Amino acid sequence: MKRPSGEEIVFIRDNAVWSVAVNMSSDTPTFASPVKLFEGIRRAPGAVAQSQGLAISRDGSRIFVVQGVEQPETNIINVIASLTPPSR
């Protein structure tokens, strides 16, 4: 997923969120080395690489990731919402 400014590509790999800076100052784009932003992503059961939920706020200040959480063995579904990244 590209940040709105177009200067960065953000993606999930190995249960972490990574960033690659993109320089568009010439006719051919150049890409920096990937940088790990944070880790600890918990995939939902049955999720595959193509179905990873990742979104970026319009101003580029927040990254939203859908994560799997353990559910109790009942008919209740628990939802956890957080606007801060997981601690390192």
Report pTM. 0.62
**How many independent structural domains does the chain possess?**
1
Q: Which long-range contacts (CB under 8 A, 24 or more apart) does 63-69 make?
A: 63/10, 63/17, 63/37, 65/12, 65/17, 65/41, 67/41, 67/42, 67/43, 68/42, 68/43, 68/44, 69/42
Q: Which domain holds residue 53?
A: 1-88
| pLDDT digits 0-9 by tens, 36-84 | 998 888 776 666 666 667 888 887 788 888 777 666 677 776 677 766 6
